[in-house]
Structure 1
Amino acid sequence: MTLLITGATGTLGRQIARRALDEGYEVRCLVRSFRKASFLREWGAELVRGDLCEPATLLPAFEGVTAVIDAATTRPTDSLSIRQVDWDGKVALIQAAKEAGVDRFIFFSILDSEKHRDVPLMDVKYCTEQFLAESGLNYTILKPCGFMQGLIGQYAIPILEKQAVWVMGESSPIAYMDTQDIAKFAIQALKVPDTINRSFPVVGTRAWSAGEIIKLCERLSGQDAKVTRMPIGLLRSVQRMARFFQWGLNLADRLAFTEVVASGKPLTASMDDTYSTFGIDPNDTTTLEQYMQEYFSRIMKKLKELEYEREKAKEKSKKKKLFR
């Protein structure tokens, strides 16, 4: 089976590519830059140049492809808008997949997208779900709500570097999941017929609030966090201001999504049906405590090694001075 993966250079997409290659699939990655995606070729994937926003580049990438796993999405730093990539681009991708006659289409949406139609990213995800369901393709929709990988830059690194940790609004508890585990569900969906034409939540073992994550990081690092809270009113003011400028539209749309996770309403769901249907053991899912423990263990070990090297360098410097 040959898989076409979009968004393969991203946090989630690279884990999907790695998992698919490890399980023996032939992997083709649609990329805009061969240079930025060179690590995928080193892993064993085939790279094809293409852009979701340039529909003419898509169909050639589907030659010989059996299934598509779409993990692409706009990034906060992108010059293109959410609508251009996550709606226009996805419509073009689904249409190309339909024309190419692919057997399966795996799409990543966001948990509870249907409940937040006023948020551009959530609305676009919901509309794409509906478009895919009506396309005639055999699809599976997976709905995560947060990646554990994002917590490193948001909480762990600022605490280690004694920088401010920003917390907005009431901080909704979120059931974060390791992207390696999410990738496991994506690849498993290709093997399980009961996942066809269905949607599934793909979330972590429990929902964590910002305060709980900060306390966990403090305990594992042995350092106190400097917490700075941003009032929800200020967030809304920045969002309104950004909409006055063309360059600020993507930022404004992202800030609208931030308001969802600052509402205080938990983002989580039962995974019982998901685990049962996919045939995956819930005990194999990484917990947030395990993920953070592993990160801080590696970092603290590295910091001790660096401190040891500095002390050795100081001792050598002192001995040189004594013999001058």
Structure 2
Amino acid sequence: MTEEQPVLVVGATGYLGGQVVDELLSRGKRVRALVRPKSDAGKLEAKGVEIARGDMLDAGSLVTAMTGVAAVISTAAGYTRNDRNAEAIDTFGYANFAVAANLAGVPRVVLISILTCDQTPHVPHFWHKKLAEDKLEELGVPFVAIRPGAFFDMVTQMGDPFEKGRIMWFGSKGAPLSFVLTSDLAGYLADAVDADVAEGERVDIGWSRPVSILEAAKLASVHTDKDIKVMSMPTSVLRVVGKITGRFMPLMKDMAAMATWFDTGRYVADTSSQARLFGPVPTPEDAIARLAARMGH
């Protein structure tokens, strides 16, 4: 009897990637993690994760890490790092990734993509995900692209909104959006390793209905004694800031483009495939209640 092959997680030291590792381990999977040479892998090693040292910009290290795996899950995103290699990771890095997966004969790649990325050439980090999907398809790599909506957890980055009574936002307060919780997404990514999906399938991920950030704040208010307000930077201001700082801070220009797209009300998931593959789609009420409970409310 041969030992089960590991699942490689690319981006395992990140916020989402770390949760994907935990979800895989809870399902009894062996896990291998691609970790950059200078990054601390101690927490992963303590969980029994096999470490493969490498980098998205080093194609050889990717081939080595991918050899002999059951599947690869990639949550890597240069955009979220906002450093000098950000764009290179999301473009050249994902081209390397696709070539390496092809050379290593990976049975399935689970790619974390972005909702509506194929409609948004004007939003750089969205479009880069679409190009990554295309490269995998072009090379004939068996893959599924998981396309989540906006991470609702980001409203906690400026502190506990249930305690503070406010949510910091950007763009329109009233535009409907599809949201996800990171913990739910991590579970879907782990499940996608064995899910009955067609090669090249793109799967939208969201809640049972889109909500505006104003409606989300109202739902969040149920879990505290405060009436949670939304404080938002208008998209027009973001665009001006992005134009001024774009040369030195491309993230701001990208954020402005993303906020402009959000304002159209078209950042909305079709969750029919999500329901078929992963079970009942969370309602906004349920997801926000679980986030509130996680934060002690």
Partner SS state of residue 32, structure 2? strand
Give the secondary-structure state (helix, strand or coil) at the position aligned to 2:256.
helix
- Matched with 1:83 is 87
Residue 28 of structure 1 deviates from its aligned partner by 0.5
Give the direction of change, closer, same or farther, for the CA distance of 1:62–1:297 in structure 2 (3 Å limit): closer
Moved more, 131-140 or 192-201: 192-201
Residue 212 of structure 2, aligned match among 203, 209, 219: 209
Q: Map 1:156-195 onto structure 2 (within 5 A).
A: 157-158=160-161, 160-161=163-164, 165-195=168-198
Per-residue deviation, 1:25: 1.5
Moved more, 36-45 or 156-165: 156-165
Secondary structure of the residue aligned to 1:69 is strand
Identity score, percent: 27
Are the equivalent residues in 2 in contact too, given 1:167–1:210 (CA < 8 A)?
no
- Within 1, Cα distance between the matches of 2:168 and 2:251? 23
Report 1:1-324 matches (<5 A): 1-32=5-36, 36-153=40-157, 157-158=160-161, 160-161=163-164, 165-245=168-248, 248-261=249-262, 263-276=263-276, 278=277, 280-282=278-280, 285-297=281-293, 299-300=295-296
Per-residue Cα deviation, 1:26-78 (whole angstroms, up to 9, x for no partner) = 11011126754432222221122211123333222123223111111124443
- In the alignment, the residues of structure 1 paired with residue 288 and residue 173 of structure 2 have an alpha-carbon distance, to the nearest angstrom, of 23
Change (3 A) 1:42 1:115: same
- The structure-2 alpha-carbon separation of the partners of 1:241 and 1:29, relative to structure 1 and needing over 3 Å to count, comes to same
Q: 1:10, 1:268 → 2: CA distance?
A: 26
Note closer, same or farther for the CA distance 1:204–1:232 as it changes in structure 2 (3 Å cut). Answer: same
Equivalent-residue separation in structure 1 for 2:118 and 2:79 (angstroms): 21
Q: Distance in 1 between matches of 2:111 and 2:27?
A: 20
Contact 1:21–1:44 under 8 Å retained in 2: no
Higher Cα Rg: structure 1 or 2? 1
What SS is found at the alignment partner of 2:157?
helix
Letter in 1 for 2:283: T
Query: Aligned partners of 1:159 and 1:174: how far apart in 2?
Result: 21
State the distance in 2 between where 1:37 and 1:253 align.
Answer: 31
Higher helix share: 1
The CA distance in 1 between the partners of 2:134 and 2:192, in whole Å, is: 19
Q: CA RMSD in A?
A: 2.5
| One-letter code aligned to 1:268 | V
Q: CA deviation at 1:100?
A: 1.2
- TM-score, length-scaled by structure 2: 0.87
| 8 Å Cα contact 2:147/2:202 also seen in 1 | yes
Please tell me whether the aligned partners of residues 144 and 197 of structure 2 are also in contact (alpha carbons under 8 angstroms).
Answer: no
Q: Answer with 126-135 or 226-235: which moved more.
A: 226-235
TM-score normalised per structure 1: 0.81
Distance of 1:291 and 1:36 partners within structure 2: 32
Q: Which runs of 5+ in 2 are unaligned?
A: none
Query: 1:97/1:143 Cα in 2 relative to 1: closer, same or farther (>3 Å)?
Result: same
The residue matched to 1:216 in structure 2 has which SS? helix
Cα 1:81–1:182 shift into 2, 3 Å = same
> SS state of the match for residue 83, structure 2?
coil
Measured at CA, do residues 77 and 200 of structure 1 come closer, stay the same or move farther in structure 2, by a change above 3 Å? closer
